[in-house]
Structure 1
Amino acid sequence: MAVSSSRSAVRRSPAPTYAHYRQYKQQRVRRNLVVWAVVFGAVTWAVWSSGFGLLTLFNGLSESYSFIVTDALPPKLESVPDYLGPTLETLYMSVVGLVISVVISVPIGILGARNTTVHRVVSYLAKSIAGIARAAPSLVITVFFVAVFGVGPLAGTLALGLGGVGILGKVYADAIEEIDAAQIEGVRSTGASWLQILGQGVWPQFKPAFMTWTQYRFERNVRGGAVIGLVGGGGLGFSLISAINLYQFRDAMTIILMIFVMVMVIELATRALRRRAI
């Protein structure tokens, strides 16, 4: 009786047919249409609210072209010596800011990674610190430090340093969590201490990611150092906003070219140093 009842139950369950498949496909198409309609409506509303338009964009591009050709070009290259000091200031800010970021981020990364932390709660707190630092934009941090310390490179340096903690702290922790656990266990099996495990089991595997992300952050500091100067952080950015406010657009174009050249040179130099270090 039990066997016959189970067979009847099997017979009652309908087998999937082509009609069921078509119904499923139609339902899926309707759901996709609803999703795309919502996305299209949201994008349309955003475009309309922002005042974006092809005619406005075309007029702006034509006006910017005439502005660059008539007011900003050619750059005033004879002013380059006047901006060498702010250029070095931007470089100093980037270096010191990077040191601050690395010194704070390495402990955060080690304590935040699940395989090297001393406790799960400590890992959560370390990652939370990195998340809080990452949530605040560099410009906002700069404005705060300008209000505290005044206009100058100190505010920009601290902003670059703390701004880098949010990024480096997270990527350091993620990189440490992805390393091979077998090497760590091999070092631990010898009776090594926690610091010896970090030095012999973690660092050799973590070193390539450390060099890559530290180099990337230094390049971002150079670019960011020019931007935060616009709000009083010192360096080339401060010289740039001063030239724009005084309608010295040829000087401003000179500063922009100097920033571009500095970023390219630093990128090539750090890439070569990274190849040698790794």
Structure 2
Amino acid sequence: MPATATAHVDIDRYKRSNPELFSRPLTQRLRDWSLWLAFAAAVLFTLWWIDANPMRIVNGLSKLGVLVRLMVPPWPGDGLWEYCYAMFETLAMAFLGTIIAAVLAVPFGFLGAKNIVPNWLFHFGLRRFYDAFRGIDGLVWALIFVSAVGLGPFAGVLAIAVGDVMVLGKLFAEAIENVDKKPVEGVQAAGGSSPHIVRLGVFPQVFPVMMSHVLYFFESNVRSATILGIVGAGGIGLQLSDRMRINNWQEAAFIILMILVTVAIIDNICRRIRARIIEAGRA
């Protein structure tokens, strides 16, 4: 008998002796089909709920075409230097908010790490505290702080800082929990105290990861600061909102291009710095 025929016979015999390995049970197939049907039903119900229909899309695209034609050519008018100042204000908001959040997140990260504070009740309560703050969007914080401290970039800085501190604290805690134990044990063997263990055994390992997270959040906050300005937190977003409100679409288009170019430059710079930090951490 040829080798291929023998192999075929062996496979058939194996299928007969182990049918569960070659075909899923009926209950499992019914469960999978039920999940897919529930997913499709949820999508269809959501589309019906928001009244999504092809005619609304067609009408929206036609109106969008009119706006795009009104935006061409982009033109700064007499407000070029005003827009540049507002752009720097937006960058300052993102920078200060990120720095404040990062500094405050470091102690929260160490407190939230299981290998630093092993008390499970404290750890559980602190993590739920993080989750409560992370559930509030930065735009909501901006509205709160605009009402509390008034219009301007200070409200934007506070919104970014408060919105990011708990997210960074959670990320820092996860990085601290995954440190290599050998440097920590080396500091302990040398007679180091708890502060020495944290400063010499843990922090040098997690610092590159922390900086990588901080740079990523700074990139994101440059974009977020634009949106925060629309609700009164100052910066280029406020200028964009004003130009849209008076239907000055050419200047609005110029501001949008400024934002895109600035975000692209910041992303490129931060990506290069992150790559250097990661390489230095691996070395």
Fold conserved between structures, TM > 0.5: yes
Q: Shorter-chain TM-score: which interval? A: 0.7 to 0.9
Aligned to 1:105, the other structure's residue is in SS state helix
Q: TM-score, normalised by structure 2?
A: 0.85
Shift of 1:249: 1.2
1:95 counterpart = 2:68: no
1:76 counterpart = 2:75: yes
Distance 1:191 1:21 in 2: 56
Between 227-236 and 191-200, the greater mean CA deviation after superposition: 191-200
Shift of 1:244: 0.8
Task: Give every structure 1 segment of 4 or more consecutive aligned residues whose post-TM-superposition deviation is greater than 4 Å.
Answer: 16-24
Give a deviation string over 1:22-71, Cα, whole Å, max 9, x none: 996333222222222221111111011111123322332232123202x1
Shift of 1:273: 3.2
1:272 counterpart = 2:272: yes
Distance 1:121 1:28, change over 3 A: closer
Aligned to 2:191, the other structure's residue is in SS state coil
Aligned to 2:25, the other structure's residue is in SS state helix
| Aligned partners of 1:156 and 1:229 also within 8 Å | yes
Partner in structure 2 of residue 59 of structure 1: 59
1:127 counterpart = 2:133: no
Counterpart residue identity of residue 75, structure 2: K
Partner in structure 1 of residue 108 of structure 2: 108
Percent of aligned positions with the same letter in both sequences?
32
Distance 1:207 1:58, change over 3 A: same
Shift of 1:168: 0.6
Distance 2:204 2:119 in 1: 23
Partner in structure 1 of residue 3 of structure 2: none
Partner in structure 2 of residue 241 of structure 1: 241
Shift of 1:72: 1.2
Shift of 1:189: 2.0
| Aligned partners of 2:67 and 2:249 also within 8 Å | no
Q: How many residues align?
A: 262
Partner in structure 2 of residue 49 of structure 1: 49
Give a deviation string over 1:203-240, Cα, whole Å, max 9, x none: 22102211110000111111110011111111111111
Distance 1:118 1:19 in 2: 48
Distance 1:90 1:21 in 2: 59
Distance 1:20 1:199, change over 3 A: closer
Give a deviation string over 1:118-151, Cα, whole Å, max 9, x none: 6434333432332222111111111111111111
Unaligned segments of structure 2, at least 5 residues? 1-15
Between 268-277 and 216-225, the greater mean CA deviation after superposition: 268-277
Distance 1:219 1:19 in 2: 54
Counterpart residue identity of residue 145, structure 2: F
Unaligned segments of structure 1, at least 5 residues? 1-15
Q: TM-score, normalised by structure 1?
A: 0.87
Between 163-172 and 114-123, the greater mean CA deviation after superposition: 114-123
Task: Give the superposed CA RMSD.
Answer: 2.2
Distance 1:23 1:183, change over 3 A: closer
| Aligned partners of 2:232 and 2:238 also within 8 Å | yes
